[in-house]
């Protein structure tokens, strides 16, 4: 019983500190409170605190220096839907590279059933040389967009291509989930099959409700966090 209680307190402490780090309340480089302060705040023993800090260090969220303290090393960047996450990473000082995996006519049958014929663009993103995301974008196969498999993207950019095609986003919606990587995506991302990644599905529509872009992104949860804002209750 005592072992279960101890494990529960350790797990709760790990979860709460990890949440503060991932949401940015404890930012990169911030110093965590000392062991005595954490033990008092969470009403646990110093041994439980040390065990929790060791777990956070194992997850590469903090580093602990003997006699100095524990500091946040997590460098995840907020995902700004207006600017795009690649730009957010770059502005955070990361070296971002994009590899075009291919452009093909057609796409996910479920997407085409809902939106009509599409052209699919697959890209792999790297940050500081490490794969951090796979993106699959479905664009409506109309006008110049239908020729993308042969013509390629304008300036290598989907945003520039949509602008050139006169497709302006007027709004949309997004869903976020956590899912295990399948074998193919794991190989692209240089990860183990089954490793958990964030899965973001975003649909952007024009002012008339027509499809501008349907994109599915698999995002490394060690590098991204999501921030939602909402108006005050009335």
**DSSP secondary structure code for residue 25 in this structure:** S
Reported confidence tier of residue 153, pLDDT bands at 50, 70, 90: very high
Reported confidence tier of residue 2, pLDDT bands at 50, 70, 90: very low
Contacts of 231 (CB under 8 A, 6+ apart): none
- Cα separation, 125 vs 40, whole angstroms: 43
60-98 pLDDT per residue, tens: 788 888 778 888 887 665 444 444 555 555 545 556 788
- Cα separation, 34 vs 160, whole angstroms: 49
Structural domains of the chain ordered from first start: 2-72 (1.10.10.10), 77-225 (3.40.1410.10)
Between the CA of residue 70 and those of 26, 32, 206, what are the distances in Å? Answer: 12, 6, 48
| Per-residue confidence (pLDDT) for residue 230, from 0 to 100 | 54
Percent of the chain exceeding pLDDT 90 equals: 47
**DSSP secondary structure code for residue 178 in this structure:** E
∠ CA(215), CA(192), CA(20), 5° rounding? 70
Mean pLDDT of 93-116: 88
Lowest mean pLDDT among 10-14, 82-86, 127-131, 141-145: 82-86
């Amino acid at each position: 019983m005592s072992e279960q209680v101890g494990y529960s307190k350790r797990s709760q402490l790990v979860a709460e500190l990890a949440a503060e780090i991932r949401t940015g309340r404890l930012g990169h480089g911030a110093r965590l409170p000392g062991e005595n302060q954490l033990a008092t705040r969470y009403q646990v023993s110093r041994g439980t605190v040390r065990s929790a800090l060791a777990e956070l260090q194992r997850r590469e969220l903090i580093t602990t220096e003997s006699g100095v303290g524990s500091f946040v090393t997590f460098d995840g960047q907020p995902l700004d839907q207006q600017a795009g996450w690649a730009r957010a990473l770059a502005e955070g000082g990361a070296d971002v590279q994009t590899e075009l995996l291919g452009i093909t006519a057609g796409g996910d049958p479920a997407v085409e059933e809902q939106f009509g014929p599409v052209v699919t663009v697959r890209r792999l993103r790297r940050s500081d040389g490490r794969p951090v995301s796979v993106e699959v974008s479905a664009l409506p196969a109309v006008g110049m967009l239908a020729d993308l498999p042969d013509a390629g993207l304008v300036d290598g950019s989907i945003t520039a291509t949509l602008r050139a095609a006169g497709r302006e986003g007027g709004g949309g919606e997004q869903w976020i989930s956590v899912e295990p990587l399948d074998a193919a995506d794991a190989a692209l991302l240089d990860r183990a099959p089954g490793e958990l990644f964030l899965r973001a599905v975003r649909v952007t529509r024009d002012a008339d409700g027509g499809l501008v872009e349907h994109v599915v992104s698999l995002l490394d949860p060690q590098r991204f966090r999501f921030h939602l804002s909402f108006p005050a209750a009335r």
